[in-house]
Structures are given as structure tokens and as C-alpha cells.
Amino acid sequence: MNKQLMKGNDAVVYGALLGGATHFFGYPITPASEIAHAAALHFTRTGRTFLQAENEENAINMIYGAASAGARVMSASSGPGISLMSEGISYMAGSELPCVLVDIQRAGPGLGNIWPEQSDYIMVAKGGAHGNYHNIVLAPNSAQEMCDLTYRAFELAERYRMPTFILADAYIGQMMEPVELPSEPKTTPRHDWAVYGDSESRGNLITSIMMNTDLLSEHNWKLLDKAHQVEKNELEFEELETHDAEVLLIAFGISSRISHTAVEILRSQGIKAGLLRPITLFPFPYQRIKELSEQVDFIAAVELNEGQMAEDIERAVAGKTQVLRYNWLGGIIPSTEEIVERITTDMGSK
């Protein structure tokens, strides 16, 4: 059965297995728990490795070890768990180790509640731990993309040797939709940098410590150069009705689904609205937003946080276009009607 009805969280596991994932180390946390549950079932059924760690700190260090040995390794958590992993994520970035991490965002700070937010944007898209580095960050807005982007994520992580995130919110993780599974299973290649415990890899060294300041400076510039290559080669976004838009909505995840419908309603009312949806949050579509900002009256940044993505939008437009922040916190989700009403009001005040 190539097409199945499943939750976004389950779709992640299918995408991972078909994408060649060999190991899953993690600790369950709502609203990401189904990923660990499905991995426990399907990784073991297919001869892969699943291990529930004592906590998230142990999980990320298991990932470090398996990635060092050339495995395609992943974990999944939510904001509190990703926070606990942050030290290990920095060590993996410093050691140039690929991995795939899934963050199904819940409301915070602290334990907050299990309802959706998008408040991990800065933590994940800006690095999230100490040091100079970036993660590749993919932002699905459907169960299908939960599968497809996870399927692709392992090759991206290995191409650039850097942690790669699937950043979704609780609605995308929990909603159930038809998913068409990839038809071509992938396998894990042998890496010339990994430590396999054989004569060929005997000289390989996985480390992030460099006591010489010049060597560490050189290494940091190398990491940042890779990030620039990601920005050049891997940028991805989607546009709706932007060709003649007078107001531009920018949103990702569940916010983009709601905004998509809002644009259709606004268009039916004679308001020329458009939508830009970043699929990659790092890299971020600065240049395209700058171009579109030159034709619109204003930009509405629609997100379930206090305006974390809006800061990147404001950086892109450099004060030449007004950026309005449409924000909801604590797990509250706006209705399409709320967004339409706010756009209509703001258009009338221009």
C-alpha cells in the first residue's frame, strides 16, 4: 500500500525508514510521542535499531556515537526535550556529524502545555546552543511533507555534515491525512570520514575540541562557509497569488494552512492577497521577501509566537515595508475569519 491514512508523526517514521535511517534514539514527550512509539515498532520490524534512552541528554549522546560510526541516525522530541539536547547538538555541529532531529513544538516556556506553538523558531533556526553554527531547518505543513522532508533530510545532513531539523507544530504532528510513501528506499553509504573500527577508517578522528586558537578559528569559518553553501543551494519556499499581491502573508506550518485559506477568501472579496511559505527556515528566503516587499502595501507575519520569524522578515525588508505581527501564544490557534478580519481592517487603514 503506497498511500495510507496516517498522522504526521507516523509519517515521519515512514519517511525516515524509506530514507535509509538505521538508528532511532529518543525519549517520548507529548505531542511527539507517536514518533517514538512508531519507531519502536517499525525500526525493529525492519531490522533497524530503536532504543529508548533514560532521557534526552543520553539520547543525543547516543546519536553522537552512532553518527560517528556512519549510521543514519535520528531522534524526535518537543521543545523541553530539544532544550535538554542542546549541548549534544552543539557537539555534533562542532564535530561535523549529520543527524536528523524532529521537533514537534508545544507551548512554552517551561512545561507550558501540549497545545501547538511555533516558539522554537529561534532556538532551532538560529542554532540553539553555544558556538558558531547553523542547523538545516525544514518546516512541513502537512502529513505528506512530514514524510517527504524527513525522507530527504538524511541526505541533506550527510551532504553538509550538519544537524538537520524537521520543525513542525503539534497540529501538523497530530493531524491525520493521506500520505503517499516514497517509492525508492534509500540506503546508507559508507563515509570516508566515519569511524568503522577497520583499517580503512583507523586514521579518522571525530572531535570538536581544538586547543589551538588558529585551528579553531579556521574550523569555525569552515562551518560558516558550509552554512553559506546551504543558503546558496538548498533554499525552498512556496508562493500563492503573489504575482499581483498588495498584501503579503508569510507563514509556516499550521499557520500557513490557515493563511492559505485566508488568501482565497480575501481574493474572493476583491483584496489582492498573497502568501509566501518558507519550507526551509534555514536557509530563509530573505531575497524573495525583499523583492515582494517592493510591490505590497504591507506584510503580515502570521505565527504562533511573539514574532520570532517576523524579525527575519524585518531584516529582509530593511524598513522599506511595514511588517505587521499577527501573533497567537499559549496554544491558541487563529481561525481563518480572524486573519481575514485583521487583513481587511489593516488594508482599510492604509
Q: What does the pLDDT look like over 310-347, one tens digit per residue?
A: 999 999 999 999 999 999 999 999 999 999 999 999 99
Question: Same domain, yes or no, for 133 and 103?
Answer: yes
Question: Same domain, yes or no, for 337 and 277?
Answer: yes
Number of domains in the chain: 2
Question: Same domain, yes or no, for 15 and 105?
Answer: yes
pLDDT for 309 equals 98
Domain termination residue (choose one: 199, 233, 267): 233
pLDDT for 1 equals 59
Question: Same domain, yes or no, for 150 and 229?
Answer: yes
Cell of 127: 542554532
Quick one: 277 exposed, middle or buried, by C-beta within 10 A (0-12, 13-18, 19+)?
A: buried
SS3 content of the chain, % helix, strand, coil (to 5): 40, 20, 35
Q: Are strands 136-138 and 280-282 parallel, antiparallel or unpaired?
A: antiparallel
Domain termination residue (choose one: 233, 261, 288): 233
Whole-model pTM: value is 0.97
CB 253 within 8 A of CB 139: yes
Question: Same domain, yes or no, for 228 and 242?
Answer: no
Query: Using one digit for the tens of pLDDT, what is the confidence trace for 74-124?
Result: 999 999 999 999 999 999 999 999 999 999 999 999 999 999 999 999 999
Domain termination residue (choose one: 233, 262, 286): 233
Question: Same domain, yes or no, for 38 and 151?
Answer: yes
Q: How confident is the model at residue 348 (pLDDT cuts 50, 70, 90)?
A: confident
Question: Same domain, yes or no, for 37 and 186?
Answer: yes
Question: Same domain, yes or no, for 212 and 244?
Answer: no
Q: How confident is the model at residue 350 (pLDDT cuts 50, 70, 90)?
A: low
How far CA 267 is from CA of 43, 244, 272, in Å, comes to 46, 11, 6
Domain holding 251, by residue range, is 238-348
- CATH number, domain of 260, equals 3.40.50.920
Measured between alpha carbons, how far is 22 from 256 in angstroms, rounded to an integer?
Answer: 32
Question: Same domain, yes or no, for 61 and 171?
Answer: yes
CB 23 within 8 A of CB 15: no
Query: Using one digit for the tens of pLDDT, what is the confidence trace for 6-31?
Result: 999 999 999 999 999 999 999 999 99
- CATH number, domain of 216, equals 3.40.50.970
Q: How confident is the model at residue 349 (pLDDT cuts 50, 70, 90)?
A: confident
